[in-house]
């Protein structure tokens, strides 16, 4: 689109220069990096003039350097202030006043489309920056003196410190290459309330990283010819549905078709003192298979629980003792163990949230009940010992290690493939990458091994479902000398209620799946399917951020200025949703006889093991789904009640005798009946 030419650019020469600039800027694709971060220019691009000088829009450059920029239209001067540096430049003049001293340049600052452009030399000499030009990639490299001297560790620390300050990062990171630890440091608090810092000795739950250890135990027994990967599991355990068809290899590669027991809310109702391996296996051993063994791939914790059972059956040791004797002790992993009995005093507390944090009470049922699928805790230093051992024959022969890291399964769901307890990826630039993540209540962990380059990245975080994949990608970019983006503080701005009202509505990203945007007291809320509504905060007029999770919502408008859609982005996931209607009407609480609440008390089964419990304290009525918090529900009629924390309703069903027989849970796009039990 032809850019509007401002009124004071009246000379024909200047008009032609502006038109020439527009074409050049669009075709040259010049990239500007400040301290290795790419600068985004919303509506003004750098360009090369006819004298082969690279000119950049000074406001965007200066503001990205933390300077304050002011334009005086009457005197046609630009004032730039950064720390102790005070700069004044005049448009059309090839001099600038820097802290009272005049500096002369061979190219004058120019205005194009209301933007002031200056030569690179101006940036280097007035703002004391190092400026280089990469002609091959057409990249302007602007580096502050303190950043230009940073080594790899310095850049990693710079990035992670910003993550700690602005994104709630709390944990430990270790980066190594070829037996050399390039970086190891901890951030944030092991206990936020008591202000106990994370250290190199802080212990974190590593969740599904446990699977790699369970896989190694199986492969050690395989190497000793005590079992075969093609053995059916009926050889080791009785009564598992179609156990004569499921092999050990199926369990290792998530191709068994077993029901995944951690998907069952009933797991969270078990008293941790009562939990046992037999009890956990009993939760799924009789359930119908999701698919025929070997015909599909689906991540499955049940399979690794059975693998741990098989280790015990074959070795004669409980899995804990087997791991200690055959892996932890030989590798001197002295700060690694399992969630039975007492844990180390150095164990970090778990939290949920992103910028705002909520403590997560230790769930002994889940941590203990994960067994070979996810019950290990460790440190980054111990996990590095584990990584180093996988390049040797300390634990198994090289042929066995190769089997573990071969691709055994490929599936459309997988970006690469799956080995034996590891995800495998072949990358054109990075070579072979083997990795695994772990998530459990309040904790996230990640270990990535760039095998061809012998680079290891280990991250442990005491935050649930933290965006570790994104962090690992940035760390690899830093190691490789590529650009990376330093996170900035997310600052909420004020928007008037009239504008916010325009964003409310129902947005559909898939048939039957809606994002609902509502407003209450000038505060926007977003609700995704089957989730509670959450506050979102404005970064700009149309971009909003969450404080509870690392997610953003950007509202889109059509050519008429009407809001017609939104983009939801969380980590590497982006959802595009079209506006299909207004937000649900505000529901009104009515007065009813509270004695009726007693009739509704009881348990209602939505699905096997998934219960909604209705209770009353005489004044209010409360609903609690298995594994979730209790929430008050409010009457719309004598039989219909609604939540305030989510767009959901409960309608009680009553038979002809007036007895309560069940309820219907109503959520956007679905109605789920439940019988009273």
Distance CA 13, CA 27 (A): 21
Which tens digits make up the pLDDT trace of 346-380?
Answer: 889 999 888 888 888 765 667 778 899 999 999 99
Q: Are 263 and 272 in contact (CB under 8 A)?
A: no
Which tens digits make up the pLDDT trace of 561-618?
Answer: 899 999 999 877 889 999 988 877 767 789 999 999 999 999 998 876 678 889 998 8
Q: Which two tokens stand for residue 527?
A: 């609700």
Asked if residue 164 belongs to a domain, the reply is: no
Helices 210-223 & 301-315 angle (0-180, nearest 10):
40
Q: Which two tokens stand for residue 618?
A: 């005489």
Three-state DSSP state, 548: coil
**Is the pLDDT higher at 514 or at 446?**
446
Edge-to-edge strand order for the sheet containing 417-418?
180-187, 171-177, 455-461, 443-450, 431-440, 423-427, 417-418
Distance CA 610, CA 160 (A): 40
Cα separations (Å) of 602 from 236, 597, 613? 41, 10, 6
**At residue 458, does pLDDT exceed 80?**
yes
**At residue 14, does pLDDT exceed 60?**
no
What are all long-range contacts of 60-69, with beta carbons under 8 Å and residues at least 24 apart? 61/32, 61/34, 61/123, 61/142, 62/127, 64/34, 64/37, 64/39, 65/34, 65/127, 65/129, 65/142, 65/144, 67/127
DSSP 326: I
Show which of 546, 581, 616 is a domain's final residue.
Answer: 581
Q: Which two tokens stand for residue 153?
A: 């560790």
Q: Which two tokens stand for residue 353?
A: 């949230």
Q: Which two tokens stand for residue 121?
A: 């030399």
Kindly give, in sequence order, each residue whose CB lies less than 8 Å from that of residue 153, ignoring residues fewer than 6 positions away. Answer: 182, 183
Q: Do both 252 and 382 map to the same domain? A: yes
pTM above 0.75, yes or no: no
Q: Do both 235 and 126 map to the same domain? A: no
pLDDT at 19: 30
Distance CA 35, CA 486 (A): 9
Distance CA 541, CA 559 (A): 17
**At residue 666, does pLDDT exceed 70?**
yes
pLDDT at 669: 61
Give how many domains the chain has, as a whole number. Answer: 4
Asked if residue 3 belongs to a domain, the reply is: no
Q: Which two tokens stand for residue 498?
A: 């009239």
Q: Are 426 and 416 in contact (CB under 8 A)?
A: yes
Asked if residue 166 belongs to a domain, the reply is: no
Q: Which two tokens stand for residue 625?
A: 């789904």
Confidence band (pLDDT; 50, 70, 90) for 6? very low
Q: Do both 570 and 636 map to the same domain? A: no
Q: Do both 105 and 246 map to the same domain? A: no
Which tens digits make up the pLDDT trace of 228-276?
Answer: 999 999 999 999 999 999 999 999 999 999 999 887 766 766 776 778 8
Which tens digits make up the pLDDT trace of 519-572?
Answer: 988 999 998 876 778 899 999 999 999 998 889 999 999 988 899 999 999 877
Asked if residue 153 belongs to a domain, the reply is: no
**At residue 206, does pLDDT exceed 90?**
yes
**At residue 145, does pLDDT exceed 70?**
no
**At residue 330, does pLDDT exceed 70?**
yes
Show which of 421, 453, 479 is a domain's final residue.
Answer: 479
Q: Do both 180 and 63 map to the same domain? A: no
Three-state DSSP state, 46: coil
Distance CA 624, CA 368 (A): 24
Residue for token digits 């959901």?
648
Q: Do both 506 and 551 map to the same domain? A: yes
pLDDT at 23: 31
Q: Are 406 and 416 in contact (CB under 8 A)?
A: no
Kindly give, in sequence order, each residue whose CB lies less than 8 Å from that of residue 171, ignoring residues fewer than 6 positions away. Answer: 186, 187, 188, 198, 204, 348, 444, 459, 460, 461, 462, 463, 466
Distance CA 675, CA 604 (A): 5
- Average pLDDT, rounded, for the chain: 85
Q: Which two tokens stand for residue 4?
A: 């509007």
Strands (DSSP E) along 73-206, which ranges? 77-82, 85-90, 95-98, 101-104, 110-112, 115-119, 130-134, 139-143, 171-177, 180-187, 189-191, 196-197, 204-205
**At residue 450, does pLDDT exceed 90?**
yes
Q: Do both 235 and 344 map to the same domain? A: yes
Q: Are 224 and 338 in contact (CB under 8 A)?
A: no
**Is the pLDDT higher at 282 or at 111?**
282
| % pLDDT > 90, the chain | 50
**At residue 502, does pLDDT exceed 80?**
yes
Q: Are 646 and 527 in contact (CB under 8 A)?
A: yes
pLDDT at 58: 79
pLDDT at 501: 93
pLDDT at 296: 93
Which tens digits make up the pLDDT trace of 15-43?
Answer: 222 333 333 333 457 888 877 777 777 66
pLDDT at 319: 95
Domain CATH number, residue 551: 2.40.128.50
Distance CA 35, CA 141 (A): 8
Three-state DSSP state, 413: coil
pLDDT at 12: 24
Q: Do both 270 and 404 map to the same domain? A: yes
Q: Which two tokens stand for residue 299?
A: 């991540």
In 359-460, where does DSSP find H-type helix? Answer: 364-369, 380-389, 398-404
Q: Are 47 and 142 in contact (CB under 8 A)?
A: no
Q: Residues 433-445, buried b or exposed e (16+ Cβ, 10 A)?
A: bbbbbbbbbbbbb
Q: Do both 263 and 397 map to the same domain? A: yes
Domain CATH number, residue 224: 3.40.710.10
CA angle at 595 for the pair 592 and 599, rounded to the nearest 5°: 105
**Is the pLDDT higher at 314 or at 270?**
314
For the segment 107-111, the average pLDDT, to the nearest whole number, is 77
Phi and psi of 33, rounded to 5°?
A: -120, 130
pLDDT at 512: 67
pLDDT at 155: 92
Three-state DSSP state, 272: coil
pLDDT at 343: 56
Asked if residue 331 belongs to a domain, the reply is: yes
Three-state DSSP state, 664: strand
Residue 502 belongs to domain spanning = 497-581
């Amino acid at each position: 689109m032809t850019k509007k030419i401002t009124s004071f650019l009246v000379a024909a020469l200047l008009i032609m220069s502006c038109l020439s600039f527009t074409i050049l800027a669009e075709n040259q694709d010049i990239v500007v990096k400040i301290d290795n971060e790419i600068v985004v220019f919303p509506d003004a691009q750098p360009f090369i003039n006819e004298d082969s000088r690279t000119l950049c829009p000074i406001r965007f450059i200066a503001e990205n350097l933390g300077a304050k920029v002011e334009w005086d239209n009457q005197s046609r001067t630009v004032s730039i202030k950064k720390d102790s540096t005070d700069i004044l430049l005049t448009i059309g003049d090839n001099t600038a006043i820097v802290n009272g001293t005049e500096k002369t340049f061979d190219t004058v600052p120019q205005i194009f489309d209301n933007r002031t452009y200056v030569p690179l030399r101006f940036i280097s000499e007035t703002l004391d920056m190092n400026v280089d030009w990469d002609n091959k990639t057409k990249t302007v490299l602007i580096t502050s003196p303190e950043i230009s001297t940073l080594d790899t560790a310095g850049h990693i620390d710079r990035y992670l410190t910003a993550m700690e300050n602005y994104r709630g990062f709390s944990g430990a990171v270790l980066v190594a290459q070829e037996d050399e630890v390039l970086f190891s440091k901890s951030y944030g608090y092991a206990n936020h309330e008591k202000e106990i810092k994370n250290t190199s000795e802080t212990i974190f739950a590593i969740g599904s990283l446990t699977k790699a250890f369970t896989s190694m135990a199986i492969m050690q027994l395989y190497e000793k010819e005590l079992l075969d990967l093609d053995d059916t599991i009926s050889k080791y355990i009785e009564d598992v549905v179609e156990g004569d068809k499921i092999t050990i290899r199926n369990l290792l590669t998530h191709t068994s078709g077993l029901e995944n027991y951690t998907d069952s809310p009933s797991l969270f109702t078990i008293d941790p003192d009562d939990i046992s391996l037999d009890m956990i296996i009993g939760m799924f051993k009789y359930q119908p298979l999701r698919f025929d063994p070997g015909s599909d791939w689906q991540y499955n914790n049940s399979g690794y629980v059975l693998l741990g059972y098989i280790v015990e059956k074959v070795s004669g040791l409980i899995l804990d003792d087997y791991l200690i004797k055959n892996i932890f002790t030989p590798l001197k992993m002295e700060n690694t163990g399992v969630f039975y009995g007492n844990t180390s005093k150095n164990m970090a507390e778990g939290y949920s949230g992103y910028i705002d944090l909520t403590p997560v009470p230790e769930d002994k049922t889940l941590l203990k009940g994960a067994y070979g699928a996810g019950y290990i805790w460790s440190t980054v230093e111990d996990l590095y010992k584990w990584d180093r051992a996988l390049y040797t024959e300390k634990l198994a022969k090289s042929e066995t290690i190769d089997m573990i890291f071969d691709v055994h399964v490929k599936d459309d769901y997988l970006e690469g493939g799956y080995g034996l307890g590891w995800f495998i990826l072949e990358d054109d630039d990075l070579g072979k990458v083997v990795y695994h993540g772990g998530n459990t209540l309040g904790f996230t962990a990640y270990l990535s091994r760039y095998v061809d380059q012998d680079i290891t990245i280990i991250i442990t975080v005491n935050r649930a479902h933290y965006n570790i994949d994104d962090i690992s990608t940035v760390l690899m970019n830093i190691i490789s000398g590529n650009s990376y983006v330093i996170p900035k503080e997310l600052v909420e701005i004020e928007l008037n209620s009239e504008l916010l009202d325009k964003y409310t509505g129902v947005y559909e990203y898939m048939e039957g799946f809606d994002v609902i945007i509502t407003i209450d007291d000038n505060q926007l809320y977003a609700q995704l399917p089957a989730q509670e509504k959450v506050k979102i905060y404005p970064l700009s007029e149309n971009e909003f951020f969450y404080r509870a999770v690392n997610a953003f919502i950007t509202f889109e408008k059509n050519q008429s200025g009407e809001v017609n859609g939104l983009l939801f982005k969380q980590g590497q996931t982006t959802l595009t949703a079209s506006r299909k209607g207004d937000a649900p009407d505000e529901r009104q609480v009515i007065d009813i006889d509270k004695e009726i609440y007693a009739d509704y008390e009881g348990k209602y089964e939505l699905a096997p093991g998934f219960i909604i419990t209705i209770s009353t304290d005489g004044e209010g009525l409360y609903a609690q789904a298995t594994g979730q918090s209790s929430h008050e529900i409010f009457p719309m009629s004598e039989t219909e009640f609604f939540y305030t924390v989510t767009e959901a309703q409960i309608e009680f069903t009553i038979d002809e005798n007036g007895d309560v027989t069940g309820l219907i849970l109503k959520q956007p796009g679905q109605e789920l009946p439940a019988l009273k039990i």
